[in-house]
Structure formats: structure tokens, C-alpha cells
């Protein structure tokens, strides 16, 4: 399994048979090394309905006919656009051909503005546990620090965790360090930082402060193989 980071909260997972994109905020993401028109994933996983996470989902899905997995209200909206969507909700898990997905709590919001200026409610925000090829990847989405992160770590043997560190809209580096301790992932990658002035942080410093050998500040386009 090859997992790459592409700025903000964009993560690409390539398994032996499938390509999965998480929160494909590409076109308006100055840090992203991808081009939306070149992406043809089998699946898009969405943590919540903010523009900097929904991103290019609709245009990619219209072209590729990929499956969109999202919190219920966001998935229902995608279905109303004629797209192939699977609704889920917090605490629920489902076994797909490409792997197992489970939604975890995240403390945040979930409304985005569509191309017509309409405000779309995306349901409860979430994090995502993705299980495939005997590996577990945790994408926390946008969230504050909350104590049930301990439970997520206790219940799962997490190989790689993506945690937001930007502060202001999510937990900052100090809280994310505690989150890293609680989720007990073998490797931790900081996300959701440096895309906008309000969330400028030092990802390398955060990675150094995680337990030795566990923190990795990936630059856009860099990857980890599990």
C-alpha cells in the first residue's frame, strides 16, 4: 500500500487494485501537486462538507464515475447530483471491495458552498479509519482534541495516522501531540496546515516532537509505503 500526501488534507491511497482519494481539495489548493483533471480514482472518501475538503469531488466523480463515500447528508447531496455515492455515519463501518471504512467522531462543522452559491449542509463531520491489506490508516479529518481519541487508539492497531495541526479551525500542534500519543499510531503525519495564513505551522517541528521515529512531515507529493 502506497500512501501519499498532497497538501491541506488531501491523501491518496494506492492498494494493489484500487486508488482512493481522501478529501480531494486540489484546484484551489496552492500546496497541492496534483491536477484534478488527471485524477481517476476508484473511490473518494470525504470526512466532511467544507470546501477545502470536498474540493474537486464533483468534477472528478462526474468524469470518472468513481464511488463517493461520505457522511449521510453529504452523500445524499452527491446522489442528487447524479453521482455514485454511499452514505455512512459516525460509528458505522462497511466492508467494500476496496477495503473497510469506519467513520469516527470529529468535532468540527460541515457546510460548503456549491458552484451556484448555495449553502449545502454536509451532516456531522467525521474521521475515517481505512482498513486494507492488513493495514490500518486513520485520517482524523478536521477536529479538536477530544478524549475518545484514546478509545480509537485502544480499539485499533493504527499503522499510519494523519492529524490536523493548523490550529484556529482544528487542534494545533500541542493538542495534536497529545492526540498522537492517544491514537498510538506507528507513524504520524501532520495535515491541514500552511495552506492559508491562519493555519501556518511548522510541520517539521511537530514531527520532531512526536515520539522518535513516529513523526513524518511529508511534503506534497511525498509518500509512505506500508
- The CATH number for 168's domain is 3.60.15.10
CA atoms 97, 99, 104, 110: torsion sign: negative
CA atoms 116, 121, 53, 59: torsion sign: negative
Read off the DSSP letter of residue 194.
Answer: S
Q: Which domain range does residue 75 map to?
A: 2-225
Q: What confidence tier does 212 reach under pLDDT thresholds 50, 70, 90? A: confident
Show the CA angle centred on residue 183, arms to residues 181 and 188, nearest 5°: 75
Q: What confidence tier does 178 reach under pLDDT thresholds 50, 70, 90? A: very high
Q: Enter the C-alpha cell of residue 112.
A: 460548503
Distance between CA 203 and CA 207 in Å, rounded?
6
Read off the DSSP letter of residue 146.
Answer: -
Q: What is the pTM of this model?
A: 0.97
pLDDT for 223 equals 98
Secondary structure class of 226 (helix, strand, coil): coil
3-state helix, strand, coil split of the chain in percent (to 5) is 25, 30, 45
Please state the domain count of the chain: 1
Section 186-193 average pLDDT? 98
Distance between CA 73 and CA 202 in Å, rounded?
34
Pairing of strands 99-105, 43-45: unpaired
Q: What confidence tier does 213 reach under pLDDT thresholds 50, 70, 90? A: confident
Section 97-112 average pLDDT? 97
pLDDT for 211 equals 85
Q: Residues 30-71: pLDDT tens digits?
A: 999 999 999 999 999 999 999 999 999 999 999 999 999 999
Amino acid at each position: 500500500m502506497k500512501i501519499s500526501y498532497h497538501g491541506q488534507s488531501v491523501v491518496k491511497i494506492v492498494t494493489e487494485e484500487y486508488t482512493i482519494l481522501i478529501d480531494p481539495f486540489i484546484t484551489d489548493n496552492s500546496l497541492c501537486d496534483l491536477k484534478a483533471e488527471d485524477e481517476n480514482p476508484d473511490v473518494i472518501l470525504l470526512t466532511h462538507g467544507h470546501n477545502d475538503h470536498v474540493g474537486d469531488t464533483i468534477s472528478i466523480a462526474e468524469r470518472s464515475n468513481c464511488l463517493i463515500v461520505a457522511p449521510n447528508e453529504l452523500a445524499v447531496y452527491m446522489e442528487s447530483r447524479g453521482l455514485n455515492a454511499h452514505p455512512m455515519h459516525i460509528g458505522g463501518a462497511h466492508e467494500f471491495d476496496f477495503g473497510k471504512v469506519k467513520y469516527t467522531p470529529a468535532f468540527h462543522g460541515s457546510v460548503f458552498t456549491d458552484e451556484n452559491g448555495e449553502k449545502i449542509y454536509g451532516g456531522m463531520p467525521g474521521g475515517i479509519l481505512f482498513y486494507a491489506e492488513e493495514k490500518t490508516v486513520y485520517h482524523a479529518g478536521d477536529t479538536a482534541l477530544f478524549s475518545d481519541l484514546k478509545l480509537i487508539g485502544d480499539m485499533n492497531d493504527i499503522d499510519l495516522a494523519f492529524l490536523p495541526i493548523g490550529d484556529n479551525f482544528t487542534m494545533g500542534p500541542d493538542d495534536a501531540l497529545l492526540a498522537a500519543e492517544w491514537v498510538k499510531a506507528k507513524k504520524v503525519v501532520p495535515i491541514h496546515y500552511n495552506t492559508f495564513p491562519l493555519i501556518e505551522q511548522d510541520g517539521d517541528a511537530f514531527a520532531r516532537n512526536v515520539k522518535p521515529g513516529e513523526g513524518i512531515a511529508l511534503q506534497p507529493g511525498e509518500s509512505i509505503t506500508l
